[in-house]
Amino acid sequence: MNPRRHFLQKLAAAAIAFPLLPAEAHLSIEKQATETNDGPPLRVAIMGLGSYGTRVAEAMKDCKRARLTGVISGTPSKITSWQSKYNIPAKNCYNYENFDAIKDNPDIDAVYVITPNGLHHDQVIRVAKAGKHVICEKPMAVNAKEGQEMVDACKKANVKLLVGYRMHFEPKTLEIVRMRKDGELGKILFFQGLSGFTIGDPTQWRLNKQLAGGGAMMDIGIYSINGARYMIGEEPVWITAQETKTNPQKFKPGVDETIQFEMGFPGGAVASCLSTYNMNNLDRFFVNGDKGFGELQPATGYGPIKGKTNKGELTQPHTTHQTIQMDEMAAIILDGKQPIVPVDGEEGVRDLKIIDAIYQAVKTGKKVELK
């Protein structure tokens, strides 16, 4: 391991070793792993047992195709808690030093990596080398180079790499995508994406450059980048961006507070977006065509998503995003299902290339052309 990787692991307390917890009599995943009417389940281990990992685990209780069967963590007390809460046997519990042993565990088909961004690269590659499919939380990596290395490693290992783009399965979002694809919005002219909130604890990993890879852009701005792409249906060809920083004590060098950015698309559409860690009430997508429009507000929160189009209010029912996501990802991995909006590693790299270009535009003050 090179010094940077070692530093990141230490910084995240990710190399804490502990003995496997004793097996508890009668604790089995047999009930969880039984076949459903839709086919065999995807047996998933969650890596990183923080707040979002917990949200995913709770949502998976209602999944039809995905089952939580293992955990990977650097905190022994969390493993103990999850064992009893989710009926996970000790043989399916790992730490960050020994999780390569999942290679020999038939109870685990895939690992969902939900750790700080700066750790994704090495952890995903290790999971791939262990022969397991990977779901990685977004952003997939801290830059496009690392993201591409992750894609290449998973292809070499013949495992799938998916990214936690939960909005790609959200019904109201998909209805606007459908309208755009069917020509109901006409020629797309404009997109606006507002993504932001006021971040709290200044000591959290999201404000640490080494662990987060940046600031608000990596965490929340990526929603507007991704949303512009699937709402417009094209890839941007140029980018401009400007950064505003009002609190350099909280937002250290390399950790962006607020960035306004614009993207131009080959069909002539323009996207105007805002990413910030210093303003609340910013969660809105608006796409405008010469025949109609679509609006979501809130657009990317945990729900319920609300929206309307030129035809009226969107009324698709709300279901927990992570429940839909994990069932759909199980179908992608097990059945080869093709999602309406991609969630593969290549999709993750596309967003990372745009983030790289945004940071370059901020640094140079110039328009950045994208190939």
Q: Distance between CA 86 and CA 69 in Å, rounded? A: 8
CA torsion 105→122→324→181, rounded to 10°? -130
User: How are beta strands 93-94 and 66-72 bridged, if at all?
Assistant: parallel
User: How are beta strands 293-296 and 258-264 bridged, if at all?
Assistant: unpaired
Angle (nearest 5°) at CA 75 between 74 and 78: 130
What does 237-281 look like in DSSP terms, one character per residue? SEEEEEEE-S-TTTS-TT--SEEEEEEE-TTS-EEEEEEESEEEE
Per the CB < 8 A criterion, the answer to whether 300 and 308 are in contact is: no
Q: What is the largest CA-CA distance in the chain?
A: 65
φ and ψ at 281, to 5 degrees? 65, 30
223 catalytically annotated: yes
Who's near 248: CB < 8 A, 6+ residues apart?
A: none
User: Which position among 132, 138, 172, 353 bears the catalytic label?
Assistant: 138
Q: Distance between CA 40 and CA 24 in Å, rounded? A: 26
b/e burial code for range 121-144 (CB count within 10 A of at least 16 → b)? bbbbbbbbebebbbbbbbbbbbbb
The structure tokens listed for 82 are: 């999850």
Kindly tell me the sign of the dihedral angle through the C-alpha atoms of 246, 272, 165, 311: positive
Q: Distance between CA 241 and CA 367 in Å, rounded? A: 8
User: How are beta strands 188-198 and 270-276 bridged, if at all?
Assistant: parallel
User: Which position among 94, 96, 223, 359 bears the catalytic label?
Assistant: 223
Peptide bond into 298 cis (omega under 30): yes
Name residue, tokens 């698709």: 316
Per the CB < 8 A criterion, the answer to whether 340 and 328 are in contact is: no
Catalytic residues: 138, 223
